[in-house]
Amino acid sequence: MSAIARVMLEMGYTVTGSDVASQELTEKLAAKGAKIYIGHTAEQVHGADIVVYSTALPKDNVERVKAEELGIPVLHRSQMLARLLNERTGVAVAGAHGKTTTSSMIALVMEQCGTEPTYIIGGEIMDIGTNAKAGKGKCVVAEADESDGSFLQYHPSLGIVTNIEADHLENYGGDFGRLKDAYVQFLNQIKPDGKAVVCGDDRNVRDLLPSLACQIVTYGIDTSCDYMADHIQLGDRKVVFTMKQGGHPLGQIKLSVPGKHNVYNAMATVIVCLEAGIPFADIAEAIQHFHGAKRRFQVLGEEQGILIIDDYAHHPTEIEATITAAKATGKKIIAVFQPQRYSRTYFLLDAFSRAFSEADEVIITDIYSPAGEKQIEGVSSSKLVELIKLNSNAGARYLPTKQDVIADLQGRLQSGDLVLTMGAGDIWKVGHELAKSLS
């Protein structure tokens, strides 16, 4: 929402908006000229030409109700984004994992290479300091969110799918097949002269390929694809690999972010930027300057040999990839995970329980549940800890609150420790508090 608001401001529109609390992004919007209200009241929509809302906002919200009474068009966030993306050369990044990092990486490389893209991204790009910009170029780079089906609003020129997993099934009637059908529809909505850029190593992605009518470009490491990564060297907060096309080396890619998962993100970025007409050498130079998006393996502090890292990982696959990337530091990994949503924890309970084998210590906090979500009987963090002890890490512990975690860790961290906070809720506050106390 903040990204769309920022782009509309930069395009010259008058923007007002409301949120339940003031935060860094709302303050940045106010500094750009937006009128920000804290709290929702009916009067705040008076005079608007369009009212845009997020999935989190219920139908009975007073501002939505008043807008409809006044005959003001009311658009979902994705519909507003579609108006921007579909009119130009849209680059829509979809997938269970890696959307924010890949779209941020594409935006940064395009920006550094002078193509002046418009970008609208869910996370702040660390090297630019913002999550959105109205550029003068033809490309619009954005995340395409499958969680609520909103990615079906888009008709991009380049549609990227990083991977597909059984997540957000509560929005698909618990049916993974319906989710996969949605991906097929998304990719078949690519413009006639456009292309699907997809990860060929992902089995669920491969299963969809026969159903696609568009041009397809594949990338991978372990499966024969149009573009391949070879000679991969994983290091402490860095990766080096060789990119090949049709078996022929294009050159070396050096990344300033860790992990095999970022090799995939970088490959998608390189392909998109090549399709946009940027020479490989320029891409390889620019991509080195990408240091991640906010809450994506974000280093919060490094003092006295103790490293504090925060990550948005909220799915078992993401947790495993993030812990594996952290292991490359050579430090003792203390993984602190805050589950998000009872529904996700219910559907993925067994997979979560098997995701922590590479950590040296595991701490699980209470489930972070959005307002209005009903608790599911038998689904709890203490139950998850029991299963983690059985399936992946016998040393797992349950500490209910963020304050409990801070109190537990503050007095005993020592040189060689790495605290890794993970989750889509507010567990990042633990990392920030620990980093603050260290410094």
**Which residue out of 63, 143, 318, 433 is catalytically annotated?**
143
pTM reported for the whole predicted model: 0.83
175, pLDDT greater than 90: no
pLDDT at 371 over 80: no
What's the pLDDT score for residue 295? Answer: 82
pLDDT above 80: residue 172: no
**pLDDT(22) > 90:** no
Residue 129 pLDDT exceeds 80: no
Active-site annotation holds for 102: no
Q: Quick: pLDDT tens for 299-351.
A: 899 998 999 999 999 989 899 989 998 998 999 999 999 999 998 899 899 99
Does the CA dihedral 67-72-74-75 come out positive or negative?
negative
- pLDDT higher than threshold 90 for residue 127: no
Burial zone of 33 (CB within 10 Å; 0-12 exposed, 13-18 middle, 19+ buried): exposed
Over residues 275-280, the mean pLDDT reads 97
Contact 160, 102 (CB under 8 A): yes
Catalytic position from the list 26, 66, 89, 99: 99
pLDDT tens-place string over residues 374-406: 899 999 999 999 999 999 999 999 999 999 999
66 is catalytic: no
> Given pLDDT bands bounded at 50, 70 and 90, which one contains residue 123?
confident
Stretch (H or E) spanning 308: strand 306-311
* Catalytic residue chosen out of the listed positions 26, 89, 100, 345: 100
Of 106-110, 146-150, 158-162, 422-426, give the lowest mean pLDDT range: 146-150
On average, the pLDDT of the chain sits at 93
Q: What are the pLDDT digits (tens) for 198-217?
A: 999 999 999 999 999 999 99
Tokens of 270: 């390189």
Active site residue 99: yes
Mean per-residue pLDDT, 348-358: 95
Quickly count: other Cβ atoms within 10 Å of residue 132's Cβ: 25
Alpha helices in 233-368 (DSSP H): 260-275, 280-287, 316-327, 342-347, 349-353
Mean pLDDT of 168-180: 81
Query: 210 burial class (0-12, 13-18, 19+ CB within 10 angstroms)?
Result: exposed
